[in-house]
Amino acid sequence: MLSDTSQHQGKLQRQKQVLIGSILIAGLCSIIYELLISTTASYFLGDSVRQFSITIGIYMAAMGLGSWLSRWINGNLLMAFIAVELVLGLIGGLCVPFMYLAYAYTDLVQPVMILLILTVGTLTGLEVPLLTRLLEHQDVLARNLSNVLSLDYLGALLATLAFPFLVLPWMGVFQSSLVFGLLNIGLGLLNLWYFAPQLDLSRKRLLGWSGALVTSFLAVLLIFSQGLLSHWTNSLYSDRVVHREQTPYQTIVLTQYKDDTRLFLNGNLQFSSVDEYRYHEALVHIPLSQHRAPRRVLLLGAGDGMAARELLKYPGVQSITMVDLDPAVVELARTDHRLITLNQGSLDDPRVTTVAHDAMLFLKESTEHYDVILADLPDPNNVSLARLYSREFYRLAKKRLAPGGIFTTQATSPYFAPKAFWSIHASLAAAGFERVIPYHVQVPSFGEWGFVYASRLEQPLKPTEPAVQTRFLDRTTFAEALTFPRDLMPTDPVKLSSLDNPTVHDYYMDGWTYWH
């Protein structure tokens, strides 16, 4: 009798361990799904703060809904838990493919995102009450709740730590969703196998076949994921995709049509080889023509090497420090034959030093001073990027300028996002530069594009003939760049942008959302 009691206790303990382990994995998978959904939405829709805020709010509310619905689940709770895991694994595994399909073929990315969050959140909300009730015969309620919730939260912690450092860099969003969907389904099948003696035969077979079918489906998608991803990626771009890469920071895509090579970061066009020289000549040669002897230049962004190419035309430039957050962009510009042809191998020139670092942190930590600082940074389409167009960022840049130094930044379109453009101008003026002057040029692939020049000297910006060979910029186009027609001038007062109040982001989204 004592032996039977010990065996029974041992069996209960093992069952408890399986269920507790299930809590940890279930919590991890659920958070991974939400991170994947919000990250993918940020890639497609921009404004990462908005997407993550929507995700967190709806997910928490949906978990509450799931917990409330769990009261109506009676009968075999173990069967219900296994069914929830199988459905959650299927939906979670397909969350990113669903969003790719929505983006490629419909205008319903946001509704699909919300529906996925609601579904995953509701199913996740069912898990904790079910597991608590399954364990109610083994411990008192207080201990059960503490065990279930602590392990669920631990799983969430592991997910949030693994996602940016392991999951996203190794697998990308598409494959990650399939892998964790399979893990979630495997969790359900493990419980099905372990608790098989306690389950009804017909329902056990139904769950087993369902699990096997769903596993096979996701496994096939995972095997062919690269081909599917290439197909869907190609459908997102009008030209043939010749390179696609997911990094911890962004999705890098290179397209090719005849002699037109285009670089996209998170779906946003960075340049077209047909007319990039207009942009880069305006960015580089206008400020350098105003400095008496530019020797040390700091490039913020510009990982494609095009701005460095223009700077290297000046024999007096002794050093170029290029700071780009994503080393993968720099590596692509160094190794892809299309980009090497365009940037003329500028990144391998001994005068060019590349640094993989955040531009703002670099300015804050650096003790060097530069004659010219050029900011060729992505547009402020999320709050993280908006800080690189803030008054505080420009103050840091001013501190890193040598006496008589010049700072110039790209400043989005004064036509498509006029308030964002003039907000950048106001933020630079508020940073304390002695002279702040806007200018613009026509870049066909972008449209009307703006820049803002800022100097530590109180002197006008004088149109001059560039001292180096150019394809577009001359004294005439220089003078035209300083002239703004009436429809490009601000009609209402605009606010400067700061770290605390990134108004440039709101202005940018309002402007471009209208045109898109």
Instruction: Give catalytic residues, as residue numbers.
Output: 376
- Amino acid letter at 74? N
CA distance 302 to 329: 9
CA distance 453 to 462: 12
Paired residues of 265 in beta bridges: 252, 268
In 266-306, at which residue ranges do the beta strands (DSSP E only) sit?
Answer: 268-272, 296-301
Using an 8 Å Cβ cutoff, are 362 and 400 in contact?
A: no
CA distance 109 to 340: 36
Query: Please, which residues have CB within 8 angstroms of residue 371's CB and are 6 or more apart in sequence?
Result: 291, 293, 294, 295, 296, 297, 401, 402, 404, 405, 406
CA distance 506 to 501: 10
Query: Please, which residues have CB within 8 angstroms of residue 300's CB and are 6 or more apart in sequence?
Result: 323, 359, 362, 363, 373, 374, 375, 376, 377, 388
- For 43, the token pair is 């890639």
DSSP string, 140-199: -HHHHHHHHHHHHHHHHHHHHHHIIIIIHHHHHHHHHHHHHHHHHHHHHHHHHHHTGGGS
The pair phi, psi for residue 372, each rounded to 5°, is -135, 135
Beta strands at 447-455 and 401-410: parallel, antiparallel or unpaired: antiparallel
- For 389, the token pair is 């167009």
Using an 8 Å Cβ cutoff, are 159 and 38 in contact?
A: no
Query: Of 252, 214, 458, 448, whose CA–CA distance to 339 is shortest?
Result: 252
Query: Of 433, 429, 436, 372, whose CA–CA distance to 406 is shortest?
Result: 372
- For 373, the token pair is 């600082």
Q: Which residue has the tokens 């880069």?
A: 280
Q: Dihedral sign, CA of 9, 15, 21, 26?
A: negative
The pair phi, psi for residue 272, each rounded to 5°, is -120, 130
